[in-house]
Structure 1
């Protein structure tokens, strides 16, 4: 028997690969977190279907810290893995083998990981809203139906990318003269200037194509990160609150399409719904009106590590 995979020497890995951030947790047999690592996110649908990107492998390497041979089980949730399709287990197996992890990981989409981690084998609903968004119904933890999650071009309505894109559209309309100037566009342009994407936050028609080129050539996270700017401005700017209200209507509309029933479980995840802000408050208020039992999944990577440990029978007795 491999001594490193017995008793207290075992390690359990949980990973939450979102559209903007990747988080990996390594836990010991006693349930204590040994290592954490974070890095850039990934969307399997749009950027990684040919294999695990190197930046993701580096995050796993930092978390494992050379202890891959001690890992007994791994559970990975990945944004952009299509519901009902075969998960990319082989790609992650190859990546982990290079890090001395010898077992097959359990790989699923991030929504399934969220629900199974926080609702177990119950039936109910789940929604992730971060860079992208998707909602789903589960029957005894098995995914049976989804709404949205179609990516930034066709869907993800109410997501961080959606909010950021709407703010940018408003800013462009103001810059080129189609709309009156507002405080929100000034905040958006100042944010882009602080990132070095445009040279000046001055509202000037000459800057239109500089803004467009900066967004088109940058990662999706640049647009999605503007959601935080919009949400923070919502308390003082009506145009920002209007965008937040629109995002809330999109998210609750997705959940409504799943025909929620009183006293069902609803698990919420993703950066927009796991922090106190006007958007999460609006979704929580809607859920209260529907008499849903809400759980907020704030540390999905840790929950995934705990799920990995629960999948391995105890070898200590």
Structure 2
């Protein structure tokens, strides 16, 4: 028998020292006298840029196309990011030269190499100083915890989890995409709903209200017609969209749908507890719930929160107060030592 190798795992995401929670209270002078801050949140569906006028505390945003380099290609990603930045600057009445700092949080921007490669494709930001490209989960963490020690749990079309400790230790769990992961996500819930229908068709599982919902949702006559759809025109988003039907069936009392949602919550809790242990978070800390799957109903939410608090009773579940793009702006403010000048819990920055 082979003995297990000595663990040599990386956290996958490392925060630059200037962005760590411990740097928030440091007495640092602003790095340059720019009047605006830029934050970008980019993924496989859309890209949103937000520009904050620090003096007037006005926030301007613009949304463009998708910008995940792995999914959309680096050229298309750069084009969407550029469109979003220029649109937000135009709405703010500002130019690139007015930026004190910028943080771009982009899906799949995981390594220094691909972060630098993407930034090289953005000549629009060449005049700007203090510019960083990070993974989009970092903006989700900043939005959900306001940059404090805690966990961001993302469950939208896909799933991902990031924990950040006070000393800057990080751990990412999940984020492997729909072929390797995405447990507890809208895609996973939707796919399990489809599986429930075909296992009923096989005679291996009981009937569920998911079955007629599947036929109506996709406009099918027979369950077996889903085969051509799945292996033909239906993509990841198309499967994830069925999660709302699973949630509706659960709300109507369907046991199969409730089990799917409970399993999704449990799997997402496993990711969350992993990052809590790996970062050493303890005591009272926020766990921010980001993404539409968290609105799936009590079967999902109670399972998720129950499994987390069973092992980590200090976890405090919160909804994000600011958008991920504004979370990137917060990080730009921390990067430039201007975070203390802004009330991040008040309009126009908050989403509620």
TM range (shorter): 0.7 to 0.9
Equivalent residues in 2 for 1:150-189, closer than 5 Å: 150-174=176-200, 181-189=207-215
User: Partner residue of 1:296?
Assistant: 319
- Runs of 4+ aligned structure 1 residues displaced above 6 Å come to none
User: Aligned-pair distance for 1:28?
Assistant: 0.9
Equivalent residues in 2 for 1:58-207, closer than 5 Å: 58-65=83-90, 67-69=94-96, 70-82=98-110, 85-86=111-112, 88-98=114-124, 102-103=128-129, 105-119=131-145, 122-140=148-166, 142-174=168-200, 181-192=207-218, 200-206=219-225
- Alpha carbons of 1:257 and 1:306: their partners in 2 closer, same or farther (altered >3 Å)? closer
Report whether the alignment pairs 1:280 with 2:301.
Answer: yes
Task: Tell me how far apart the structure 2 counterparts of residues 288 and 99 of structure 1 sit (CA, whole Å).
Answer: 43
Aligned residue for 2:251, secondary structure, equals coil
- Alpha carbons of 1:30 and 1:20: their partners in 2 closer, same or farther (altered >3 Å)? same
Which of the residues 51, 74, 97 maps onto 1:26? 51
- Alpha carbons of 1:190 and 1:55: their partners in 2 closer, same or farther (altered >3 Å)? farther
Q: Comparing 66-75 with 41-50, which one deviates more in the overlay? A: 41-50
User: Aligned-pair distance for 1:57?
Assistant: 3.5
User: Partner residue of 1:230?
Assistant: 246
RMSD: 3.4
- Alpha carbons of 1:182 and 1:235: their partners in 2 closer, same or farther (altered >3 Å)? same
Aligned residue for 1:167, secondary structure, equals helix
Task: Tell me how far apart the structure 2 counterparts of residues 230 and 60 of structure 1 sit (CA, whole Å).
Answer: 37
- Alpha carbons of 1:183 and 1:155: their partners in 2 closer, same or farther (altered >3 Å)? same
| Cα deviation code 1:17-44 (max 9, x no counterpart) | 2444433222111363442223454444
The answer (yes or no) to whether the contact 1:19–1:41 under 8 Å persists in 2 is yes
- Alpha carbons of 1:186 and 1:19: their partners in 2 closer, same or farther (altered >3 Å)? farther
Give structure 1 stretches of 5+ with no counterpart.
193-199
User: Partner residue of 2:82?
Assistant: 57
The answer (yes or no) to whether the contact 1:263–1:293 under 8 Å persists in 2 is no
User: Aligned-pair distance for 1:235?
Assistant: 0.8
Task: Tell me how far apart the structure 2 counterparts of residues 104 and 122 of structure 1 sit (CA, whole Å).
Answer: 21
User: Partner residue of 1:197?
Assistant: none
Aligned residue for 1:98, secondary structure, equals helix
User: Partner residue of 1:244?
Assistant: 261
Normalising by structure 1, report the TM-score: 0.76
Report whether the alignment pairs 1:271 with 2:294.
Answer: no
- Alpha carbons of 1:91 and 1:239: their partners in 2 closer, same or farther (altered >3 Å)? same
Task: Tell me how far apart the structure 1 counterparts of residues 248 and 78 of structure 2 sit (CA, whole Å).
Answer: 32
Report whether the alignment pairs 1:14 with 2:39.
Answer: yes
User: Aligned-pair distance for 1:140?
Assistant: 2.6
Aligned residue for 1:36, secondary structure, equals strand
Task: Tell me how far apart the structure 1 counterparts of residues 64 and 244 of structure 2 sit (CA, whole Å).
Answer: 19
Task: Tell me how far apart the structure 1 counterparts of residues 43 and 125 of structure 2 sit (CA, whole Å).
Answer: 21
Name the count of aligned residue pairs.
297
